[in-house]
Structure 1
Amino acid sequence: MILPVLFWAGLSPYVIFVIVSPAVVAFGAFLGMNYFIAALILVALILLMFKRNIFLTAGILVMNFVIGFSVDTLYKKLHPISKQN
């Protein structure tokens, strides 16, 4: 709900994607390693399509990588009762 408002207020699509990309990667990591890798590749390709600074792009990819592995680590630390549907 907030993303269209941010876009309408003048925030660039690049910044909006940088805001959304950790959620996409975290969701992929939650589903499994294959989805995590696919989400990282998708984010990397989209970031490269924006043609911004390569160091900034690499930093965002590293941030997404760390977030993805953090989700997996935090999920493994949950109590078994919390993991049930």
Structure 2
Amino acid sequence: MNEEKKKALMALKTSKGQIEGIIKMLEDGRYCVDISNQIIAAQALLKKANMMILKQHLHHCVKDAFDQDKGDEKIEEIIDLLSKIIDK
């Protein structure tokens, strides 16, 4: 596993802990704004992890595909993925 994937994994594990904390906050009846702020923080961490994964993908998988004249397929994958991100 390369460094970018290791960083993404750590971010995902951290966000998992945050989500577990958010669930406990809800169960304990904590203040809604505090819960919402924690949800925003977890979302930001998930976005960061996604960007790390995509960066790794571009630097390795997409680059390798271009070296093998298969870049068009990878470009379409990225466009499809970006459309999901942008549509949100």
Relative to the length of structure 1, the TM-score reads 0.41
Computing the radius of gyration from Cα coordinates, the structure with the larger value is 2
Bigger relative contact order, structure 1 or 2, given CA contacts below 8 A and separation 6+? 2
